[in-house]
């Protein structure tokens, strides 16, 4: 039987909707956790949550691109992360929220944090995962969860992690795992000796659907590193950025800085070219990555949509001609990459730049890694619950 709607109900609904339209911007401006970004509320009813937390003045006014890391408001970034973790976990207490995310955490568990430090050797020229965001995560793990700093492994196996750009901005004495100095004899020996937590775990090969070869065409075996096989929890900290070979370099591709090779080459050059799409997926299907990843925290403070055409750190037309000043959080790597890929696609299209393929995202969904849904126009998702929040 059809449900009849009374005249009173219609009037009540109209007034309620009108009130929301009037007061929602005020609530957003005050930072009470209301949905923002052009009125985009949570979409989808049961899909994975991707949360964008925007911070008012997260990047200080008058910032200079050549010293961009000096202009990040570290206190605001930590508040943004706190708000995001609580919302994602559905908890008002920060410790309960973190423990809900770090499934089965016990004191002494090793926690691996993988930022994107791909361009760290270029100084401030290009964007990396902000050390202030890494520090916010580390600080909450230490001060709220109670983790020992030495049990937290911050790593990028393709780069040396410098003091002046990264380490000096991280307040706790975490364990850094990095590329050995390949110009030194000792560094070369370490690379070939399978020594240390960044070396390949020969008991943890990564099954690849493509034949992976070196520059001579000889077959290679890929491995998970020891620090990942020994860790109980992984926190993936990619960038909001496009890529020169695929649409975006987000959570999934960030593990190109994780994989190790049988020929001891520290760089993932063998995984580019025609094998790139399947290789991105296969790495993330490795059980040590798939089963241990607890949280993805993506740095979108500046965002990069012009990699290959520029140096980043420029306003986005699709963010009202300003910087995104955001972080994104999710527990689904495919969903968060879908949202970031959609953002990159919209901005590149608005700027007259080409848009590359993201077929790795569909492949990732087909292989059970998460939910893929691209939206190149308005970020109005149906499979993904996408929310935006403001921290004033």
Token pair for 161: 């992690």
Q: Tell me how crowded residue 277 is: count the other CB atoms within 10 A of its CB.
A: 19
Number of compact structural domains in the chain: 2
Note the pLDDT tens digit of each residue in 26-58.
333 333 333 333 334 455 558 999 999 999 999
Residue 177: inside a domain: yes
Claim to verify: residue 63 and residue 207 sit in the same structural domain: yes
Backbone angles phi, psi at 349, to 5 degrees: -65, -45
Token pair for 383: 């499979």
The per-residue b/e assignment along 320-332, b for 16 or more CB within 10 angstroms, e otherwise, is eeebbbbbbbbbb
Claim to verify: residue 15 and residue 63 sit in the same structural domain: no
Look at residue 46 in the predicted model and tell me its pLDDT: 82
Separation of alpha carbons 357 and 277, rounded Å: 9
Claim to verify: residue 224 and residue 100 sit in the same structural domain: yes
Claim to verify: residue 65 and residue 117 sit in the same structural domain: yes
Look at residue 83 in the predicted model and tell me its pLDDT: 98
Q: Output the tens digit of pLDDT for each of the chain's 392 residues.
A: 333 333 333 333 333 333 333 333 333 333 333 333 333 445 555 899 999 999 999 999 999 999 999 999 999 999 999 999 999 999 999 999 999 999 999 999 999 999 999 999 999 999 999 999 999 999 999 999 999 999 999 999 999 999 999 999 999 999 999 998 877 888 778 778 888 999 999 999 999 999 999 999 999 999 999 999 999 999 999 999 999 999 999 999 999 999 999 999 999 999 999 999 999 999 999 999 999 999 999 999 999 999 999 989 999 999 999 999 999 999 999 999 999 999 999 999 999 999 999 999 999 999 999 999 999 999 999 999 999 999 98
Look at residue 26 in the predicted model and tell me its pLDDT: 33
Note the pLDDT tens digit of each residue in 80-135.
999 999 999 999 999 999 999 999 999 999 999 999 999 999 999 999 999 999 99
Look at residue 263 in the predicted model and tell me its pLDDT: 94
Claim to verify: residue 29 and residue 44 sit in the same structural domain: no
Look at residue 42 in the predicted model and tell me its pLDDT: 56
Claim to verify: residue 73 and residue 32 sit in the same structural domain: no
Residue 2: inside a domain: no
Separation of alpha carbons 303 and 103, rounded Å: 30
Claim to verify: residue 285 and residue 296 sit in the same structural domain: yes
pTM: 0.89
- Show the domain range for 21: 7-36
Claim to verify: residue 190 and residue 127 sit in the same structural domain: yes
Please enumerate in sequence order all residues whose Cβ is within 8 A of that of 123, keeping only pairs 6 or more positions apart, or say none. 165
Claim to verify: residue 351 and residue 287 sit in the same structural domain: yes
Claim to verify: residue 204 and residue 92 sit in the same structural domain: yes
Collapse the DSSP code of 93 into the 3-class scheme (helix H, G, I; strand E, B; otherwise coil) and give the result. coil
Look at residue 21 in the predicted model and tell me its pLDDT: 38
Inter-residue contact 373 to 382 (CB < 8 Å): yes
Inter-residue contact 44 to 386 (CB < 8 Å): yes
- Would you put residue 57 in left (φ > 0), alpha (ψ -120 to 50) or beta? left
Residues in the chain: 392
Token pair for 351: 């700027």
Look at residue 36 in the predicted model and tell me its pLDDT: 39
Claim to verify: residue 22 and residue 110 sit in the same structural domain: no
Opening angle at CA 242, ends 238 and 243, nearest 5: 95
Look at residue 44 in the predicted model and tell me its pLDDT: 57
Inter-residue contact 301 to 77 (CB < 8 Å): yes
Q: Give which of 129, 123, 114 is closest to 178, Cα–Cα.
A: 114
Backbone angles phi, psi at 162, to 5 degrees: -75, 155
Residue 1: inside a domain: no
Claim to verify: residue 143 and residue 174 sit in the same structural domain: yes
Inter-residue contact 140 to 126 (CB < 8 Å): no
């Amino acid at each position: 039987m059809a449900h009849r709607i009374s005249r009173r109900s219609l009037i009540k609904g109209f007034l309620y909707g009108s009130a929301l339209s009037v007061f929602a911007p005020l609530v957003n401006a005050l930072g009470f956790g209301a949905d923002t970004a052009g009125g985009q509320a949570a979409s989808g009813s049961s899909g994975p949550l991707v949360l964008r937390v925007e911070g008012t003045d997260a990047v200080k006014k008058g910032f200079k691109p050549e010293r961009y890391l000096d202009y990040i408001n570290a206190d605001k970034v930590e508040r943004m992360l706190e708000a995001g973790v609580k919302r994602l976990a559905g908890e008002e207490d920060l410790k309960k929220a973190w423990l809900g995310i770090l499934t089965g955490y016990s004191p002494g568990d090793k926690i691996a944090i993988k930022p994107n430090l791909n361009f760290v050797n270029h100084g401030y020229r290009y964007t990396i995962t902000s050390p202030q965001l890494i520090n916010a995560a580390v600080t909450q793990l230490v001060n709220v969860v109670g983790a020992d700093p030495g049990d937290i492994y911050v790593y990028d196996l393709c780069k040396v992690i410098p003091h002046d750009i990264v380490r000096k901005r991280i307040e706790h004495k975490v364990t850094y795992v990095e590329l050995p100095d390949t110009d030194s004899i000792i560094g070369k020996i370490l690379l070939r000796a399978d020594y240390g937590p960044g070396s390949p775990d020969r008991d943890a090969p990564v099954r690849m659907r493509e034949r992976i070869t070196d520059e001579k065409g000889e077959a290679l075996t890929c491995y998970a590193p020891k620090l990942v096989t020994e860790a109980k929890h992984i926190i993936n900290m990619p960038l909001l950025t496009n890529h020169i070979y695929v649409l975006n370099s987000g959570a999934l591709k960030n593990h190109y800085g994780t994989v190790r090779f049988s020929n001891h080459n520290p760089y993932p050059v063998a995984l580019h070219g025609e094998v790139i799409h399947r290789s991105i997926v296969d790495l993330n299907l490795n059980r040590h990555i798939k089963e241990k990843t607890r949280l993805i925290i993506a740095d979108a403070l500046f965002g990069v949509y012009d990699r290959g055409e520029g140096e980043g750190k420029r306003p986005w037309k699709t963010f009202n001609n300003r910087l995104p000043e955001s972080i994104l959080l999710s527990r689904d790597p495919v969903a968060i990459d879908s949202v970031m890929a959609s953002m990159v696609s919209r901005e590149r299209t608005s700027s007259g730049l080409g848009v590359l393929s993201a077929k790795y995202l569909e492949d990732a969904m087909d292989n059970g890694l998460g939910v893929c849904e691209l939206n190149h126009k308005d970020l109005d998702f149906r499979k993904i619950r996408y929310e935006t929040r403001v921290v004033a």
